[in-house]
Each structure stands twice: as C-alpha cells, then as structure tokens.
C-alpha cells in the first residue's frame, strides 16, 4: 500500500509512485513527472475536470516526453489535450472500453 504524500520506491529500483490527495487548482508542479494516469469521473459527471485549464496543469507538470493516459476517448477531451500541446493518439481500450487516449509532451518545435 502506498501512503498518501510519500514516494513509494518498493515497486522497482526504476519506478516510484507518488499518490497525492489534492485539488487540481492546487497543482503547481513543473517538469516533475514522467507519466500521469488520469482516471477522473467522466466529463458528463465532472465537466470541470476535463477542461483545457486542467490539461494545461498536467502538461506543465510532465517532463519532456512525458505521457498522460486516460480511458476517456471523447472528442472534446482529445481537442482539449491537443489545444495545450499534447500529441494525442487513440489506443485500443481495456476490456469494456473501445478506445482510450495517450498524450505525449514534446517540445513545441517537434510538435509543429
């Protein structure tokens, strides 16, 4: 079990997990993470979590070549991710989901 607010390094020597309980409005990390798994309630239930402003916070928090993955594959989510700079790919989803999205942070020059 990974405690809140502490890095867990027991997963492997090359992988640590940081589980935080925090409002998105409080996120101020810059270039800090390699991957973000975004599993918020869907856009229909919690639309305020699926905006360009939220995806911008996650984009800024990722290191260059960092990846954001989400089970959502809605067009509005994909467009919000692209608007803040992610290169977005549709991937086959897990059982029960047809598709999911993966966004990668590239330098602005590479993305254009």
In degrees and rounded to multiples of 5, residue 58 shows phi and psi of -70, -40
State the pLDDT at residue 16.
Answer: 79
| Residue spans per domain, the chain | 28-111
pLDDT in tens, 56-90: 999 999 999 999 999 988 999 999 999 999 999 99
CATH of 28-111, one of 2.60.120.280, 3.40.50.150, 1.10.20.10, 3.30.420.10: 3.40.50.150
Nearby residues of 19 by Cβ (< 8 Å), 6 or more positions away: 2, 3, 4, 5, 8
């Amino acid at each position: 079990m990974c405690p809140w607010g502490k890095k867990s390094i027991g997963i492997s020597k090359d992988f640590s997990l940081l589980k935080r309980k925090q409002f998105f409005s409080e996120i101020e990390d810059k270039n800090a993470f390699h991957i973000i798994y975004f599993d918020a309630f869907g856009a229909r239930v919690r639309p305020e979590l699926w905006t360009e402003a939220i995806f911008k916070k996650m984009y800024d928090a990722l290191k260059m070549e960092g990846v954001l993955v989400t089970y959502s594959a809605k067009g509005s989510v994909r467009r919000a991710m692209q608007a803040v700079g992610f290169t977005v790919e549709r991937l086959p989803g897990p059982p029960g989901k047809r598709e999911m999205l993966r966004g990668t942070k590239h330098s602005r020059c590479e993305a254009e």
